[in-house]
Amino acid sequence: MNIKVKIRRFNPEKDRKPYWAEYTLDAQPWDRVLDVLVSIKDEQDGTLTFRRSCAHGICGSDAMLINGRNRLACKVLVKDLGKNIVVEPLRGLPVIKDLTVDMEPFWRQYRSIQPFLINDDPPPYMERLQSPEARARFDETTKCILCAACTTSCPSFWADASYVGPAAIVQAHRFIFDDRDHGAQVRLAILAEGNGVWRCRTIYNCTEACPREIEITSAIREVTRAILTGEIE
């Protein structure tokens, strides 16, 4: 099938502002948007810039705005978009070039919630054991691949980049409700600050954007409840 792809491009070395470039090519219905972008780069314009890695929805590196929604280019099929495809970089992050954005503001918020196990007890001989029931309590939020699709779909983040964002709260949830971790109160204190959970307006953009189908808004609500009650259930 013949498709038209419209890409929002920008090269800071020569462009004063972003512009739209259009490409026409043949694609199969089962081709992914990532396949289409690779084809354009290989056959029409080698200067087109975007991130990719595993191409199987695990690394999260090829998140971008596709037909108005944040998605992974490697997970969206041409047949689900039709003959007109519009691709833009993620919103709310500085554009380095074309579809590649500067992820540092996202990583800075991620680091701020201390996304690692905090436990000062002497380590056991083999591993810190956990029951299946205890693991199930936070299993949902372990699925996050840090693609930034949720955070960059959030109007609160667009309005103020100091907001820690949905992805960071999801990562905090993963440790707050892990019974092997002893840093829950530290993280709850961080998220109780003005740029923490209170910035969430329950718009659900983040949940809709998540390629791993994590119930992000529910996770934010659980963290908020823990802050308000002081109890981790």
Mean pLDDT of 31-40: 98
- pLDDT the model gives residue 19: 97
Query: Tell me: the pLDDT tens digits for 46-76?
Result: 999 999 999 999 999 999 999 999 999 999 9
Average predicted confidence (pLDDT) for the chain: 96
Between the alpha carbon of residue 166 and those of residues 55, 107, 156, 169, the distances in Å are 24, 12, 10, 5
Closest-CA residue to 69 (of 87, 84, 54) = 87
Q: Are 172 and 109 in contact (CB under 8 A)?
A: no
Q: Are 85 and 5 in contact (CB under 8 A)?
A: yes
Question: Which domains are seen in the chain, by residue range?
Answer: 2-96 (3.10.20.30), 104-229 (1.10.1060.10)
- pLDDT the model gives residue 126: 87
**Look-up: residue for tokens 């709260």?**
169
- pLDDT the model gives residue 95: 97
**In this structure, what token pair is assigned to residue 102?**
């500067």
- pLDDT the model gives residue 233: 79
**Look-up: residue for tokens 């993280």?**
187
Q: Please provide the DSSP assignment of 60-121 as one string.
A: -TTEEEETTEEEETTT-BGGGT-SEEEEEPPTTS-EEETTEE--HHHHHHHHHT--S----S
Query: Tell me: the pLDDT tens digits for 70-116?
Result: 999 999 999 999 999 999 999 999 999 999 999 999 999 999 999 99
Distance of CA 90 to the CA centre of its chain: 10
123 has a pLDDT exceeding 90: no
In 3-state terms, what secondary structure has residue 26?
Answer: strand
Instruction: Give the Cα separation of 52 and 119 in Å (integer).
Output: 35
